[in-house]
């Protein structure tokens, strides 16, 4: 039977906890840091390093980290937010990007909110 220690999964997820310092909402799924931070970014919320994501925790069949819920993100560009991204601005890295449950029209100058969201890694099948 396959086995993978939680530590192996945690070390991968730990990068989100220890390096991400910004969450953006985007008009398309970003594939690069520049896309997540500028080209596709409609708004953002900056965090101190270690505050954007929680520590790795158990989930059914693997491990997860959760984003911090956002109640005061700032929209800079009017558009339709369809994705979110977690980025490391210190090292110019896109760390994670996922689709929102539904696209949402946003207007420059407004505030956005996002509930906490999980990023998961599954253990061996």
pLDDT digits (tens, 9 = 90+) for 47-90: 999 899 999 999 998 999 999 999 999 999 999 999 999 999 99
pLDDT tier for residue 33 given thresholds of 50, 70 and 90: very high
Rounded to the nearest integer, the mean pLDDT of the chain is 94
Burial of 72 (0-12, 13-18, 19+ CB in 10 A): exposed
pLDDT of residue 7: 87
Mean pLDDT of 37-48: 98
- Mean of pLDDT values over 94-116: 97
**pTM value?**
0.93
Q: Is 125's pLDDT higher than 80?
A: no
Residue 125 vs residue 11, higher pLDDT: 11
In 1-125 the beta strands, taken as DSSP E runs, fall at: 22-26, 41-46, 57-59, 62-66, 70-75, 79-88, 93-106, 111-114, 118-122
Is pLDDT above 80 for 110?
yes
């Amino acid at each position: 039977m396959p086995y993978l220690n939680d530590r192996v999964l945690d070390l991968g997820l730990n990068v989100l906890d220890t390096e991400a310092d910004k969450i953006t909402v985007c008009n398309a799924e970003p594939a690069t840091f520049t896309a997540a931070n500028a080209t596709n970014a409609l708004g953002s919320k900056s965090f101190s390093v270690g505050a954007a994501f929680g520590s790795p925790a158990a989930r059914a069949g693997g491990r997860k980290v959760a984003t911090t819920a956002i109640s005061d993100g700032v929209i800079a560009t009017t558009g339709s937010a369809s994705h979110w991204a977690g980025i490391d601005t210190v090292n110019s890295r896109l760390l994670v990007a996922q689709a929102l449950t539904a696209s949402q029209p946003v207007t420059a100058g407004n505030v956005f909110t996002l509930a906490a969201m999980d990023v998961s890694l599954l253990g061996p099948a």
